[in-house]
Structures are given as structure tokens and as C-alpha cells.
Structure 1
């Protein structure tokens, strides 16, 4: 089984309940060295205080241009594949429920992973979130692969 590297050091987003119709927090992806025109997959576990779905929307850095949207289901690991477009794909806005209907809902997105390609692979923390002594290197398929045990 291939497990892709996690490109995001941000491992969670926690949103407390507020009386705001479009409550969200963002995973910032514009400074991660992503390649223009390449596919990436964002995944996370989702828990909600109310309801069963939440919106994840891709915006530019000013939150004016929307270039993709997905619906995540509570109590599951969810994935969203998108094509990175420099200057357009800058923020993954993770909502506390459906965009426009988040009043009083708290949400937690945990085990966040951003990985290259169009397939969601099992969660792996970003290498900066793993102690050096817990990292190991081994040969797999003729190439060196880094492993970050949980």
C-alpha cells in the first residue's frame, strides 16, 4: 500500500459554536510549494455538534473567487481532490456545517492531510510533527521512502 506524504503541518481545525451563518476556518495551502496544474487531495475526519454534513470550499487569498466545493460527512474520513491553480487556489475553507447555515454548530476537522495525487491515502502526520527518533527510512519498490510511525 502506498501512503503519500502529508504536505500540511496543520493537523486540525476546531470551530466553536457561534451565531454566524457562514462560520469557517481555513487551511492555507498557497505557501506549501504546490505545483500549478497538479492534482492534490485534502482529507480530514469531521465531527459536528449538529447535522451530518459540512462544506469545504476552495477560495483565492481574498475569498472572492471560488474554484471548488465539496461536502464532508460527519463521523467519517472525507477527501476532496482539486487541481492547484497558482493565485486562485489559496485557501480551503472548512465550515461548521453547510455554508450559509452554520448558526450554533461547532465542528472539528482532525487528522488533516494534504497529499499529491487524486487518491486519498491513510492519514500520516506531517514529518515536522513527528520526533526524529520515530522516523525511519526503508527501501520500498527500489526507492527510499520515509516512514513516520504514529
Structure 2
């Protein structure tokens, strides 16, 4: 009985190390229909393309700002970062999107599969995950 309980405990402990975490703090209200995104050249270009597309689908006009631009250049500004890893295939292991209103943090979406280990859920299409993050980060359509 004790050895069986030990095996179950070890299995649960091993599986807990294969966790994927996602945390969203939605932007409560956006007065502007324009969202400026500060470019991050360290991240694959497909990320900002998917991010712009997801915002456009929600009715926002997207203005891309150069890397290093100030948060005060637009009333609503966003930064992002993401990393990819290899484990049988390339996958987006981490993504972080922060939204600022008048240069103050207003919302944040984080996806973290860096401890995904054997969890096959980490092999998601990055564009689909980015769209999901944006839909939760901006729960309302532009102007709502």
C-alpha cells in the first residue's frame, strides 16, 4: 500500500513539473480605437504579424512603432516579448504582452510553457495562442 502511494505521489510530482501557465489581466476599457505596438526585433516577425491581425479583428487600428519608442507616443501602447524552443519541433515557449494606457500598465497577458516538459499541449500554433491571448486581454471590441 505504501509503495503504491509512493508511486502515485512521484507520478503526480513529475506531472506537476510539466505545467503550462497562462495569466491574463484584461484591459478594462480602451477609449482609443488605435493601439500602438512597439516593435521588438528580438522576437520573430510572425509574432507581431499575428498580434496586429488579432487586434484588427477586434476592430482596432494598429500603429507599429520603432523599437525603443516611448510609451507616451500613443494613448494606448503595447510591448511584447516571446521565445521559441525546440523539442521534437519548434514551439512558442513563452509570450508576454503588456498594454499601457497613458504610459501606465493597464493589462497583461502571459503564456508560459517553459516548464511544459512532456506536456504535448505546448505544441500549439503560435498564431492561435496569440489570438487567444489578445481576445482575453481585450475582451471588448474597439470602441465598446
Q: Tell me, yes or no, whether TM beats 0.5.
A: no
Larger helix proportion, structure 1 or 2?
2
Larger strand proportion, structure 1 or 2?
1
TM-score, length-scaled by structure 1: 0.25
Query: Bigger radius of gyration, 1 or 2?
Result: 2
